[in-house]
Amino acid sequence: MAEPVAHPITVAIERRIDPSRTAEATSWMQAGTDLATAFPGFLGSGWVRAGEASDLWYMLYRFRDIPTLETWEQSPQRSRWLDAGRAFANEVRVERRTGIEGWFDAPFALHVESRPGADAATTGPIQQPIPAAPPRWKQTVTIWLGFFPVNLLGSWALGFVPGFSAWPLVLRVLVTTALFTPIMTYAVLPWVTRMLRPWLQREA
């Protein structure tokens, strides 16, 4: 039996940072992202500040699946890192994104920019706002645009199966959903969202 395909999971953490310890917090946040890179299943991480005068800081990291994420989150290395920041960092919100919601999120709202002539000390995360998920109506349109051709072509192909049209309705729906759902999940919907990314991220 084939093993199930892992779903990447993204974690967004909101913290309030003591404004008087910004320099210390900057080093601490960067140390956390660097620490996560050594763990199996790591797919990326970064951090941003809500604004120059704000005490809200956001950290994001992504892992291959739940088991690799939990290995990182339950590790003694992360525990020691969190302990080092308790004096100035207060965690106020944690959000995980998987499944359909994850299809409509940009993988990360920040990236590391290497500037000509810049060394490691001057290269850091670009502070960009974290985009919200598209409106529900846009998500609905996107899913429909993927599902319609899959359902149309799949139903047409199944019409060539001898006797399929005579099967009980429940059995026919069971077979078609079992066939079409993986195709939508792993092939069609990710492709459609990539194609529509500019429209999905554009303000309605």
Write out the residue range of the structural domain in which residue 183 sits: 136-201
What is the identity of the amino acid at 96?
A: R
- At 31-70, the pLDDT tens digits run 998 899 999 999 888 888 878 888 999 888 888 888 999 9
pLDDT in tens, 9-23: 888 899 999 999 999
Residue 1 domain flag: no
In sequence order, which residues have a C-beta less than 8 Å from that of residue 80 and are 6 or more positions away? none
Same domain for 186 and 153, yes or no, is yes
**Pair 163, 194 in one domain:** yes
Residue 175 exposed, middle or buried by CB count within 10 Å (0-12, 13-18, 19+) = middle
pLDDT over 80 at 81, yes or no: yes
Do residues 71 and 39 lie in contact, with contact meaning Cβ atoms separated by under 8 Å? yes
35 and 112: one domain? yes
Q: Is the domain of 155 the same as that of 115?
A: no
Domain assignment present for 130: no
Answer yes or no: do 82 and 109 share one domain.
yes
Task: Tell whether 85 and 148 lie within a shared domain.
Answer: no
